[in-house]
Amino acid sequence: MPLGRVLSTANGSQCRFATFLPTLLKLAGMLTVRAPATSANLGSGFDVFGVALERPADVIRLEKADRVTIEMTGAGSQYIPEDPDKNTVGAVADALDAPARIQIDKGVRPASGLGSSAASAAAAAVGLNELYDRGYSREELVPIAAKGEAVVSGDAHDDNVAPSIMGGFTIATEQGVTQVDADIPLVACLPDIVVSTRDARNVVPETARVDQMVETVGNAAALTTGMHRDDPELVGQGMHDTVVTPARAKLIDGYEQVREAALAAGATGVTISGAGPTVMAACAEDDRRQIASTMLDAFGERGVDARVYQTRIGGGAEVF
């Protein structure tokens, strides 16, 4: 149908135009992609579990070009290099052999524990794959986006890029990615503290006792079952971790107080999101607002400014 006919249709024209818009932009060599923030580990699933969040998110605009160029705006963008060799999306564009002019509007603050670099890498992977008709599936794009993650963290981990690309709850292993569409209310409280991924990895214990391993496996199983059932109680129970989380908690001023306050306000489970410093709480829908307020107050009592996202598990990267 000609574009003029779509625009002139009396009833439902806006909806029909919105449906055709990504195709029209692609024909013009341009696309826009929104990729969500993520929370990795979830306590018991270190380097394996991850969830996509409804908010916040990164938005990137892609236009075919002869070489890769990057422009940054948004949260913490002044700290992110625009050199393609030092930016996550540059590595993704190189892996896909898809040069483009890339404009990144950061909605996910760097060093937040909410998969900031993963969101940009995921958006680039999905968008460039579409723009250049590379034909990769969403699961096949995960290791490609992880190459971008390696630029920042030094290692190619799938636990953040997988949910940002595929949505829902993901289990990323060497055998591939398992994805579950889950719907769990969450509260993400981001303090004005910086914890780098490298520092957070350096404090992870190299060994664990047998009883800790047994407990972790049990909690991971409970969390996975809870995701399948959309059960906040089981998910919260499964967030408990006695190996990695206590070591990383020492890097976050006020973590224990915030955790205790959130649990007292009705959270079913509390843990560190990714490398931190964001503190993530699972909860029932009716308790989410009170938990968010309580977590902010608890950080405030420690003299730490923070912001909070009342969110939930959401979908993956979207092209529009």
Q: Where are the domains of the chain?
A: 3-180+315-319, 185-312
pLDDT averaged over the chain?
A: 91
pLDDT in tens, 186-196: 999 999 998 87
The CATH number for 3-180+315-319, chosen from 3.40.50.300, 3.40.50.2000, 2.10.109.10, 3.30.230.10, is 3.30.230.10
Among the listed ranges 18-22, 187-191, 251-255, which one has the minimum average pLDDT value? 18-22
Alpha carbon distance 259, 245 (integer Å): 12
How far is CA 33 from each of CA 88, 105, 124, 250, rounded to the nearest angstrom? 15, 10, 8, 36
Of 155 and 223, the one with more pLDDT: 223
- pLDDT for 269 equals 98
Average pLDDT over residues 72-84: 93
| 197 is known as an active-site residue | yes
Average pLDDT over residues 189-212: 89
Are the C-beta atoms of residues 179 and 316 closer than 8 Å to each other? no
b/e string for 142-165 if b means 16 or more Cβ within 10 A? bbbbbbbbebbbeebbbbbbbbbb
Are the C-beta atoms of residues 181 and 234 closer than 8 Å to each other? no
Percent with pLDDT over 90 in the chain: 82
Average pLDDT over residues 220-230: 98
The first and second tokens of residue 205, run together, are 């214990």
The first and second tokens of residue 241, run together, are 């971790």
Neighbouring-strand partners of residue 49: 171
| 149 is known as an active-site residue | yes
Please say whether the dihedral angle defined by the alpha carbons of residues 269, 39, 219 and 279, taken in this order, is positive or negative. Answer: negative
Average pLDDT over residues 24-50: 89
Which member of 38, 149, 170, 278 is catalytic? 149
Q: What are phi and psi of 317, to 5 degrees?
A: -60, 140
- pLDDT for 21 equals 54
- pLDDT for 14 equals 55
Average pLDDT over residues 89-99: 96
Which member of 32, 170, 197, 268 is catalytic? 197
DSSP string, 240-255: --SSHHHHHHTTSTTH
Q: CATH assignment of 185-312?
A: 3.30.70.890
Residue 98 makes CB contacts below 8 A (sequence gap 6+) with 128, 129, 131, 132, 134
Specify whether the backbone of 74 is left (phi greater than 0), alpha (psi in -120 to 50) or beta: left
